[in-house]
Structure 1
Amino acid sequence: MNLVLSLVVLASFGLLLGAFALWKRGGEPKQVFLMVLLALIAMANVAIWTVPDAEGTTPLDQIEQAEESAAE
């Protein structure tokens, strides 16, 4: 799961860089907007999985704990 989240973050940065390059070249504004929107949505999804709640646990930690208890 850590690999997947890392790839999503890298893809988000790639989308933002690509959107900036497309914008500088005078590309279609709708495509630039959609690329930025997709990058923001991907980053929000990563934040949902990795930001701890009030108890200090993340959904990612909860999944790992459930897998460990199921393996026992």
Structure 2
Amino acid sequence: MRPELSTAANTTLSLLTIAAIVLVWGGVTMIRKGDRNGGGRTKGVLMIVCAAVLVGNVLIWTV
């Protein structure tokens, strides 16, 4: 059994989860809107990849 996480760790994991949700939302928005130079789609995909990494980190710390 793992010991309980500290309050600071719980707060950090909560903020990472919120950040991942915001990154996915922003990434989808960037993909849908795009821009004139085509960089919006790339940035949107990178935002979603970053969110996946954050979720992976949260899972590593909690499981």
Report TM bin, short chain.
Answer: 0.7 to 0.9
> 5, 9, 28: which one pairs with 2:13?
5
TM-score normalised to the size of structure 1? 0.67
Q: Structure 1 segments of 4 or more deviating over 4 A?
A: none
Matched, 1:41 2:53: yes
CA distance in structure 1 between the partners assigned to 2:32 and 2:60 by the alignment: 32
Computing the radius of gyration over CA atoms, which structure comes out larger, 1 or 2?
A: 1
Identical pairs, percent: 33
Q: Does 1:23 align with 2:31?
A: yes
Higher relative contact order (CA 8 A, sep 6+): 2
Root-mean-square deviation over aligned CA pairs: 0.9
Show structure 2 runs of 5+ residues with no match.
1-8
| Equivalent residue pairs, number | 51
- With the length of structure 2 as denominator, give the TM-score of the two structures: 0.75
